[in-house]
Structure 1
Amino acid sequence: MYWYKPIQKYTIYTSVLLLLCGSYACTKPEIKETGARLKYFDLKEYFKNEAARLNKQNPEVDKTVGHNGTAENKKVHIGDWEKELNLFTESDINKPAWKLSYNVQANNDSIVYKAKYPELETREIIIRKKAGQVTEITIVNNTHNILYNTTEKLVYAPNAYYLIEKMQQVKIMGANNYRVKGNF
């Protein structure tokens, strides 16, 4: 059959083209690329800027890491602040689907975001400010399912400290508590 090879050739080209177009169409643009205005405080941008600032300054950090009451303390220089502050960045609530999912209470010195729905992992964000500058960010995350319940409390005070507390209750294995605190 002489017509089989050209059809097979065009089928392969068409399939590859459709696959490429489909994969490009499935990429989700960042909210900034769409030109939309952010509804909530931009945690991603804030911690990206903080990580860049801290990478440049390279401060010595008095870091304490604890697990179930046992702690170890060292003075260290953090090599990758984006990685160190990743849990804070991942708590960003500026997703288009969540634009009406948080109650906002703004005062002169703070902004509080509280989740309206129990299925949202980021339950609360408190941003404290003084003279327009962020003085502290507190984030509470909660994940729960049939097997486990995890609660995270994240606190970041620029030029002072950061704190990560994680309480995890796994049905079969029991409870684990983790604590990381870095003092600048």
Structure 2
Amino acid sequence: MGRYNIIGFLALLWAAVACERPVPPVSDGEKAAYNLTGYLQQQAQRLQAEKPMVLKSVKTQNKPTETIETSDVDWEKELSIFQEVDLSRPALRDFYQEQQQTLPNGSTITVFLKSEDAAAPVEQLVLTVSPFQKLEHLEAVVLEENILFYSKRKITLTAESGTGNVSGYRVEGVQKLIFGDSLHYRIDANL
């Protein structure tokens, strides 16, 4: 019975992500902070071809952690949750304050904070990019709410510092429907 609850929850999470609008391309006249969508598409293609073994754990409140190890993963769907935090779209630029810092090793940390009056779901995005423009770390907080639904997620993606290849990710969150209890969950995946 617990397995069906997890499958139902993952289907609901996937359906929420699938309802996202397509990402428009960045115009040539504007430099994007980082082409996250392009990176994720490239990683999905690479992972689909390589089929690495993945250790994936799902934990929902008051339930034991379910862990599987598999190489049968639809990477486009698996990484799609990270595409919604791509702030390189020109329409989103005005909603965020950007701060950038260069680390002693040459990597750059860019922090995007949503303006208080902005109507965008991404509250905060932190990107760490190597001097060679390889993603090293992504962390974002996504908040979506209306009269029927509340969802807050903290998503984290880590990559190998030399290659930029995805090495793992985590999704932690809570969601609540108006007529239901809150559901706290955590998904961890390590390649």
TM-score class normalised by the smaller sequence: 0.7 to 0.9
Query: Per the alignment, do residues 167 and 58 of structure 1 end up closer, same or farther by CA in structure 2, a change over 3 Å counting?
Result: same
Are 1:49 and 2:42 matched, yes or no? yes
The aligned residue for residue 83 of structure 1 is 77
Are 1:61 and 2:62 matched, yes or no? no
Q: Is there any run of 5+ residues in structure 1 with no aligned partner, and where? A: 1-27
Instruction: State the 1:178 CA deviation.
Output: 2.1
Q: Is there any run of 5+ residues in structure 2 with no aligned partner, and where? A: 1-21, 103-107, 160-165
Query: Per the alignment, do residues 39 and 160 of structure 1 end up closer, same or farther by CA in structure 2, a change over 3 Å counting?
Result: closer
Query: Per the alignment, do residues 99 and 151 of structure 1 end up closer, same or farther by CA in structure 2, a change over 3 Å counting?
Result: same
Are 1:155 and 2:148 matched, yes or no? no
Judge which range, 129-138 or 172-181, deviates more. 129-138
The aligned residue for residue 142 of structure 1 is 143
In 2, Cα distance between equivalents of 1:151 and 1:107: 27
1:154 counterpart letter in structure 2: I
Q: 2:66 aligns with which of 69, 72, 80?
A: 72
CA contact (8 A) 2:95 2:118 kept: no
TM-score by length of 2: 0.73
The aligned residue for residue 126 of structure 2 is 126
In 2, Cα distance between equivalents of 1:143 and 1:126: 19
Question: Any idea what SS the aligned residue of 1:160 has?
Answer: strand
In 2, Cα distance between equivalents of 1:80 and 1:149: 27
1:128 counterpart letter in structure 2: T
TM-score by length of 1: 0.75
CA contact (8 A) 2:23 2:89 kept: no
Instruction: State the 1:137 CA deviation.
Output: 0.6
In 1, Cα distance between equivalents of 2:141 and 2:23: 27
In 1, Cα distance between equivalents of 2:62 and 2:135: 31
In 2, Cα distance between equivalents of 1:65 and 1:145: 26
CA contact (8 A) 1:39 1:99 kept: no
Question: What is the RMSD computed on CA atoms of the aligned residues?
Answer: 2.1
How many pairs does the alignment contain? 156
In 2, Cα distance between equivalents of 1:82 and 1:29: 14
Are 1:35 and 2:28 matched, yes or no? yes
CA contact (8 A) 1:31 1:38 kept: no
